[in-house]
Chains A and B, each alone.
Chain A
Amino acid sequence: MLEIKDLHVELEEEDKKILKGVNLTVEPGKVHAIMGPNGSGKSTLSYVLSGKDGYEVTGGQATLDGEDLLDMEAEERAAAGLFLAFQYPVEIPGVGNMTFLRTALNAQRKARGEEEMSAAEFLKVVRAKAKTLKIDADMLKRPVNVGFSGGEKKRNEILQMAMLEPKMCILDETDSGLDVDAMKLVSEGVNALRDEGRGFLVITHYQRLLDHIKPDVVHIMADGRIVKTGGPELALEVENNGYADILTEVA
């Protein structure tokens, strides 16, 4: 589904290499986790895949179902089925959450040549999905992420994911800033979307999230590369011993 081959990325503004040859393949129906120390390039990978400006790809490729992702505009990647749950969801004063969601959903449908969802249908669907994530009517009406708590922002990301039904979901530290209850809600939201046709790439620091969202494969990223890949037990090893052992081992 998602195939990343020898991806090299630098910052556009300054001469700084961040990704130094990332290789990664996520198969449909699978959950891959990426762990790694701060600053290793995890968020950069998610930004480059989703089409954020400011990064220059100097080598390698990334495809989604065989389509060249790096050649598409951010909105085209979304319409092609890629979704990034942001580590820091953006506040947009003046744009209502519902308006935002409906605009996004229908823009994607339009781009794919599908029929737009009617206002009534949309309302029904969004209310039902919001309810399972304990997102109340007020949060739906408020401007996008404005005045939301950390946990509310993350739940709002999952709501967007649930509405947009992407093929490939990337979650960047969706667990950070969540208390135990919110973590459960978010994980349930993600698990509800698990499906044999859908791939997940879950970026996290903690085993905690992976207790709820069970990964099939765990990767360790350090200094812009995937340095080790294993099964769920790799996450436990990180939890118990930190990254130090793994990093010395691969060095």
Chain B
Amino acid sequence: MALPQVNKVKQDATDARLAGMEMPDGAAWITEARTEAVNRVQAMGLPHARDEYWKFTKPASLVQPEPEAAALFHNDEGPLWDDLDRLKVVFVDGVFDAEASDDLAGEGLEIERLADVATKDIHWAKDLYGQLEAGEHGYTPRPLAALNTAFATDGVVIRVSGKVSKPVNLIYLHKSETSDAILHHCVKVEEGAEVTLLETGPAAARFNKVLEVDVADSAAFHHVRVQGRDHERRAVTGIFGRLGTESTFKSFTLTMNGVLTRNECVLELTGDDAVAHVAGACVGDGTDFHHDDTVFITHDAVNCESRQVFKKVLRNGAVGVFQGKILVKEDAQKTDGYQISQSLLLDEDAQFLAKPELEIYADDVACSHGSTSGAIDEEALYYLRSRGVPMQQATDLLVLAFLAEALDEIADDSLSEAIYARLEGWLERHAS
């Protein structure tokens, strides 16, 4: 192994990126958090193709100083969940758009812009910003998330204290072909409180986003995200969550199009009886689609449940990656851990790469994982066609059926219906 050489290359790439970055002004507490993050970036080095968790996804375009341009792709779809009563917070290429956003106020929650929070001498976000990202998840470095903490220009900071009347929808519009956006959000769901966070839109030519979520005892956090549209966009996103006793964390992501998407999710179940579900569905058509889900769930309390459900439909050279780990610490007895990652390869050019891992130190646990890759079920296709369903429609039905287990993780029907409609639209546009 030519490790010293790799280290040199990494160091140079890291230095080159950091040289072009400017740390936003802010109060002492956030400047401290950012400075620590820069130190972490330097210590870890930005990702390199030789790194253990970057073997299947080339990180160079996420690391390099300037983003690759990304053309805007137009289709006639209107905004997602347009008729849903929600609190809209709009970012255009990573820049907050006050005109397009609703008033930052809502029943049961406080919501502020990170850019404002950062100027305050004292703020509760001090205990969260960069803290979960830096956290105990020591087994694998997350340098791009640390880079985010160091240089994020904006984001939202939300504290939920009661039952929130409507979901918060972060809307990421992409209007500039060369935008390079870094957003960082913090969500604190206090004891017994509950909130739904929606994220939609292609965001930017290159997007680096971190979401830190602290879910207190008996609290619930629901997250539904749709990344889509622009074929040439690139994104690396990190969700860092900490779950208290009897808390619930549920996250679903739909990804359509995107030359590179890396979605990381790092959860720590620190209170007994907590429940964490992370699900993802993606559809990719063409060599300009590469999608990577990298999920690490740590069980550090008794009687917790975690579920990872990831489904990918790929064709024409599209590539899907799944890296998922369930780590059960010594005292995390009665853990119920489930992980499934499956791909439906619609032709022989599509590719699915999976690295499922279980690491268990407790003795009384029930953990299972499975990873499969398969083609469309010819028998089912023939059965559908023999009943008069045309080939394309029959294939689409089977594709949606394949994705259903992931989509079932969306608890709210009004949200999932719109997502099915989006998928149907995509399938129609990509009819073979």
- Is A160 at the interface (CB under 8 A from chain B)? yes
Distance in Å: Cβ of A125 to nearest Cβ of chain B:
16
> Do A90 and B379 have beta carbons less than 8 Å apart?
yes
A78 and B382 CA atoms in complex are apart in Å by: 11
Knowing A93-B401, A103-B393, A103-B397, say if A75 contacts B380 (CB, 8 Å). no
Given contacts A94-B401, A95-B401, contact A107 B389 (CB under 8 A): yes
Q: Is A28 in the interface zone, CB < 8 Å from B?
A: no
* With known contacts A53-B378, A86-B383, A94–B389 Cβ distance under 8 A: no
Residue A60 is within 8 A (CB to CB) of chain B in the complex: no
Q: Are A73's CB and B398's CB within 8 A?
A: no
B74 contacts partner chain A, Cβ-Cβ < 8 Å? no
Residues of chain A contacted by B391 (CB below 8 angstroms): 73, 75
A140 vs B400: C-alpha distance when bound (angstroms): 19
| A105 surroundings in chain B (CB, below 8 A) | 388
B385 interface residue, CB < 8 Å from A? Answer: yes
Contact residues of B between 22 and 41, Cβ < 8 Å to A? none
Residue B425 at the chain A interface, CB threshold 8 Å: no
Chain A residues with Cβ under 8 A from B403's Cβ? 94
Size of chain A's interface in residues, with CB distance under 8 A? 31
Instruction: Report A46-77 residues with CB < 8 Å from chain B CB.
Output: 50-53, 73-75, 77
A164, CB-defined interface residue at 8 Å: yes
Asked whether any CB of chain B lies closer than 8 Å to the CB of A79, the reply is yes
Which residue in B379, B388, B401, B405 is a CB contact (below 8 Å) of A75? B388
Say whether, besides A90-B380, A103-B393, A107-B393, A78 and B401 are in contact (CB < 8 Å): no
B384 within 8 A of partner (CB) = yes
Q: Which residue of A lies closest to B383 (CB)?
A: A90
Q: Which residues on A sit within 8 Å (CB–CB) of B401?
A: 92-95, 143
Tell me whether B432 is interfacial, beta carbon within 8 Å.
no
Residue A104 at the chain B interface, CB threshold 8 Å? yes
Task: Say if the beta carbon of B402 comes within 8 Å of chain A.
Answer: yes
**Is B135 on the interface with A (CB-CB < 8 A)?**
no
Contact B382 A74 (CB under 8 A): yes
Q: Is the CB of A95 within 8 A of B398?
A: yes
Contact of A92 among B380, B393, B405 (CB under 8 A): B380
B384→A100 contact, CB < 8 A: yes
**Contact mask for chain B residues 356-391; partner A; CB cutoff 8 A; 1 contact, 0 none:** 000000000000000000000111101111111111
Check: B100 CB closer than 8 A to any chain A CB. Answer: no
Q: Is the CB of B388 within 8 A of A94?
A: no
Chain A positions within 8 Å of B377 at CB level: 92
* Given A92-B398, A94-B400, A103-B393; A84-B378 close (CB under 8 Å): no
* CB pair B386 A51 closer than 8 Å: yes
Query: Chain A residues near B16 (CB, 8 Å)?
Result: none
One of A52, A73, A94, A100 near B387 (C-beta < 8 A): A100
Q: Does A174 contact B (CB under 8 A)?
A: no
Q: Cβ of A103 and Cβ of B389 under 8 Å apart?
A: yes
A204 within 8 A of B: no
Instruction: Give the contacts of B379-427 with A (CB-CB under 8 A).
Output: 379-380, 382-391, 393-394, 397-398, 400-405
With A89-B383, A95-B397: A104-B389 Cβ-Cβ less than 8 Å: yes
Residues of B within 8 A of A89 (CB): 383
Q: Provide the residues of chain A in CB contact with B388, threshold 8 Å.
A: 75, 78-79, 104-105, 107-108, 111, 164
In the complex, the chain A residue whose C-beta lies closest to that of B407 is A94
Contact across chains for A94 and B402 when beta carbons are under 8 A apart: yes
Which residues of chain A are near B390, meaning CB under 8 Å? 73, 75, 107, 111
Question: A75 and B389 in contact (CB under 8 A), knowing A53-B382, A103-B397, A104-B384?
Answer: yes
Q: Bound complex: CA of A95 vs CA of B381, how far in Å?
A: 12
| List of A residues within 8 angstroms of B389 by Cβ | 75, 103-104, 107
- Complex CA gap A89/B394 in Å reads 16
Task: Report if A92-B384 is in contact (Cβ < 8 Å); known contacts: A103-B393, A103-B397, A107-B393.
Answer: yes
**A99→B385 CA distance, assembly (Å):** 14
A73 touches B400 (CB 8 A): no
B387 touches A104 (CB 8 A): yes
Nearest-CB residue, chain A, relative to B403: A94
- With a cutoff of 8 Å between Cβ atoms, the chain B residues found around residue A160 in the complex are 387
B427 CB to closest chain A CB, in angstroms? Answer: 14
A78 and B400 contact, Cβ closer than 8 Å, known pairs A90-B380, A103-B393 = no
Q: How far is the CA of A114 from the CA of B377 in the complex (A)?
A: 30
B393 — nearest CB in chain A belongs to which residue?
A: A107
What is the bound-complex CA distance between A89 and B382, given in angstroms? 11
**Complex contacts, A74 vs chain B, CB 8 Å:** 382, 385-386
- Tell me the chain A residues, 110-155 only, with Cβ under 8 Å from chain B: 111, 143-144
Q: Which residues of B contact A143 (CB under 8 A)?
A: 401
Shortest C-beta distance, B428 to chain A (Å), equals 15
Instruction: Tell me whether A84 and B384 are in contact (CB under 8 A).
Output: no
Please name 10 further chain A to chain B contacts, defined as beta carbons within 8 Å, in addition to the given A51-B386, A75-B394, A77-B386, sorted by A numbering: A74-B386, A75-B386, A89-B383, A94-B398, A94-B401, A94-B403, A100-B397, A103-B397, A104-B384, A160-B387
Name A residues whose Cβ lies closer than 8 Å to a Cβ of B: 50-53, 73-75, 77-79, 84, 86, 89-95, 99-100, 103-105, 107-108, 111, 143-144, 160, 164
Interface residues of B (CB under 8 A from A): 377-380, 382-391, 393-394, 397-398, 400-405
> 19 A-B pairs, CB-CB below 8 angstroms?
A52-B386, A53-B382, A73-B385, A73-B390, A74-B382, A75-B388, A75-B389, A75-B390, A75-B391, A77-B386, A78-B385, A78-B386, A84-B386, A94-B400, A95-B398, A108-B387, A108-B388, A144-B383, A160-B387
Q: Which 4 A-B pairs have the closest CB atoms?
A: A94-B401, A78-B388, A108-B388, A104-B387
